[in-house]
Structure 1
Amino acid sequence: MDRSSLFQLIQEQLDPENTGFIAVENFTSLVEHHELQLDPSKLDMLLALVQSNEDGQVCYQELIELMSSKRSSSFRRAIANGRRTLQREILLDETGLGLYKRFVRYVAYEILPCETDRRWYFHQNRLCPPPVFIAIVTIVQIIVFMCYGIMLNKWVLQTYQPDFMKSPLVYHPGHRAQVWRFFSYMFMHVGLEQLGFNALLQLMIGVPLEMVHGILRISLLYMAGVLAGSLTVSITDMRAPVVGGSGGVYALCSAHLANVVMNWAGMRCPYKLLRMILALVCMSSEVGRAVWLRFSPPLPSSGPQPSFMAHLSGAVVGISMGLLILRSYEESLQKQCSWWVIVFSFITFLLFAIFWNIFAYELLGVQIPPPP
């Protein structure tokens, strides 16, 4: 009997009332007559769970988890339908852990609000693939900044240098036809203060998120924030250029902060209120600094300074798309209606922005400053 047929048998025959639990005698019959494929260690673990349960029942979640070594939304449905969980020691009680496993446990409590999810992540964590996306992006941003800093001999307010704005990486409304600029601007920064802020948040929040949710989901969220940032600027602040990875950074940060707020009771990270306030103050200060530089530049410049709208659009992406991603740990996004609503909304915005960039500038008679 294959696994899919076995799972269907469990759900339809062994748990007809859909409680999420299976009687021990039914489980024993399943093992004996249906060739249940469990290695000895998994079977011993499951039998130990049966013995530890006073009602003599097997949790459907535990059975599927052990058999498939793969999470699915059926686990949480089983727990919700059964309205109870097995009594288990919390992850903080684990002793004799090495340095890396202690770090993994720390990440689990920083990111995940549910003890079941934390234990699953802790025991299933592997170094392959490693969380390299955020690290690579940060390293490239630092290298690019160092190159321009040495070339211009200037480490703050680099956007006031004409040679900086001539970079093929900067988004400028006069170069809208060069599509890569809608992404590549994330490697350029106004100065050391913006780079330091973005790099710090990327590493402190982005790397743990990537460890838990994987490179594909976090890179998608980050790049969606970056693209939304440049497109939003092209619609709302049509004469301004854009530099900095703030769109992606704010997508990650706002998604994480929103997830913490919505799961406040379950989050076990220390000093969470103080850290929440500190993060909001820092993010608000960065937005305020960007607004000040946009409308009250401290030095004479040949054109508008970079826009701050990328920060805000990144936050919107994080609260919408990012929050759903973080709340769907090890669950299929494609099976969730809300995911397709968000994808459809983002694609609609993308198409609108494309047509806007093609036609609106000429129709509205926008006076774009000449590109450097």
Structure 2
Amino acid sequence: MSNKRSNSFRRAILQGSRQLKGCSLRDEVGLGLSQQLVRHIAYETLPREVDRKWYFDSYTYCPPPWLILTITIAEVVVFMYYGFQLDRLVLQVSSPSFLKSHLPYHPQLRAQAWRYLSYIFMHTGIEHLGLNMAMQLLVGVPLEMVHGALRIGLVYVCGVLAGSLAVSVTDMTAPVVGSSGGVYALVSAHLANVVMNWSGMKCQFKLFRMAMALVCMSVEFGRAVWLRFYPPAFPPCPNPSFVAHLGGVVVGLTLGVVVLQNYEQRLQEQSLFWIFFCVYTLFVLCAVFWNIFAYSLLDVRLPPPP
């Protein structure tokens, strides 16, 4: 939600100056399906009862959670387009034309700055898209309903950019595809928020659901590692890197946690947010200079352009 509460507003609620209806949100009866969904999401994402009540009373589905849905639909459309064009849905990366698109990040084409973000719309195959899409929708949509498109978009885009830049610094010869950087930023931030507020989180089957989320992340990460070191179909160009996943996790555990923890306060009022944002900005600047100068200074042997 865009109209975040100020510190004084939160204090007024805690002091009883504003009466929130009902003793407990779980005691509300006669709710429609949409209201039950909002209540469920409140217990999924917010650790304090006062926050859950305020969110439940204030949420209106206007605007709807459009950002994550739009990104997911765009990823599916692009995947289907290239699926028909390349005549394959599984392991599209094995096609000689896969990297010829204008979307993936490729080290030979790193001067084309849009590729550091546009690579999220390409996936190595339907198994890659399916896992990313499931985590993106199951975690991203509820988070956007609570925190708004601006905050969730900030975490997502920072994870995407950190992923491609991390690859360009640590896995310098590899291309990058897939939305794992943004997805892992959101999922890592959410899981860390749940762990840090374990007693306050009232969602059902917390431990089981966390275990399932970690299993899904591990399976997807393991698939990416296996693919990276599997003999490429068209050497000398290696298969896509897995380092983008790690870049997303780092963003989620730092910048993402601050964003999700401060539901009731404006981000610009949080000193910890500015510390992490400045560190992130410094990383981006260093990575940009690395991309400009390091490849030639280190005489890196890059694969030919696609």
1:246 aligns with 2:168: no
Task: Read off the aligned partner of 2:271 and give its amino acid letter.
Answer: C
Note the residue ranges of structure 1 that are not aligned, 5 or more in a row: 1-68
Q: 2:122 aligns with which of 159, 167, 188?
A: 188
Any residues of structure 2 matched to 1:1-372 within 5 Å, and which? 71-77=5-11, 89-297=23-231, 299=233, 301-372=235-306
Give the Cα–Cα distance (whole angstroms) in 2 for the partners of residues 170 and 225 of structure 1: 16
Alpha-carbon distance in structure 2 between the residues aligned to 1:139 and 1:252:
18
Larger radius of gyration: 1
Q: Taking structure 2 as the reference length, what is the TM-score of the superposition?
A: 0.94
Tell me, in whole angstroms, the C-alpha distance in 1 between the residues paired with 2:217 and 2:203. Answer: 20
Compute the TM-score of the two structures, normalised by the length of structure 1.
Answer: 0.78
The Cα shift of 1:296 comes to 2.2
Give the whole-Å Cα distance in 1 for the aligned partners of 2:120 and 2:20: 47
Between the two structures, name the one with larger relative contact order (CA 8 Å, sep ≥ 6): 2
Cα 1:166–1:360 change in 2 (3 A) is same
* CA deviation string 1:196-241 (max 9, x = no partner): 0111111110000000000100011101100000000000000000
CA distance in 1, matches of 2:154, 2:196: 22
1:173–1:241 Cα contact (<8 Å) kept: yes
The count of residues paired between Structure 1 and Structure 2 equals 302
Q: Give secondary structure in 2 for the equivalent of 1:174.
A: helix
Give the Å deviation of 1:330.
Answer: 3.0
8 A contact 2:232–2:239 mirrored in 1: no
Provide, for residues 40-68 of structure 1, a one-character-per-residue CA deviation record: whole Å limited to 9, x for no partner. xxxxxxxxxxxxxxxxxxxxxxxxxxxxx
Q: Structure 2 CA distance, aligned partners of 1:347 and 1:287?
A: 26
Residue 146 of structure 1: how far off its partner (Å): 0.3
In structure 2, what is the Cα distance between the partners aligned to 1:339 and 1:217? 12
Secondary structure of the residue aligned to 1:365 is coil
Contact 2:4 2:263 in 1 (8 A): no
Note the C-alpha offset of 1:168.
Answer: 0.5
Q: Which moved more, 1:294-303 or 1:270-279?
A: 294-303
Q: Secondary structure of the residue that 2:101 maps to in structure 1?
A: coil
What letter matches 2:75 in structure 1? Q
Cα contact 1:258–1:323 (8 A) shared by 2: yes
Residue identity matched to 1:71: R
Query: What's the offset of the Cα at 1:297?
Result: 3.5
Residues 231-272 of structure 1 show CA distances to partners (whole Å, capped at 9, x for unaligned) of 000000000000000000000000000000000111111111
Partner deviation per Cα, 1:102-127 (whole Å, 9 max, x = no partner): 11001101111110000000000022
Contact 1:213 1:330 in 2 (8 A): no
Which ranges in structure 2 are unaligned for 5 or more consecutive residues? Answer: none
Which AA in structure 1 matches 2:301? Q
Does structure 2 retain, via aligned residues, the 8 Å contact 1:160–1:301? no
- CA–CA distance in 1 between the matches of 2:63 and 2:21? 32
CA 1:161/1:244 → structure 2, altered by over 3 Å: closer, same or farther? same
Give distance in 2, aligned partners of 1:241 and 1:360: 17
Matched residues, percent identical?
Answer: 60
Residue 301 of structure 1 deviates from its aligned partner by 4.3
RMSD over equivalenced CA pairs, Å: 1.9
Alpha-carbon distance, 1:74 to partner: 2.8
Secondary structure of 1:214's match? helix
In the TM superposition, what whole-angstrom CA distance separates every residue of 1:329-366 from its partner, at most 9, and x where no partner exists? 03111111111101110110011011000000000000
Q: CA shift at 1:277, angstroms?
A: 0.8
Displacement of 1:147: 0.5
- The CA deviation at 1:285 is 1.5
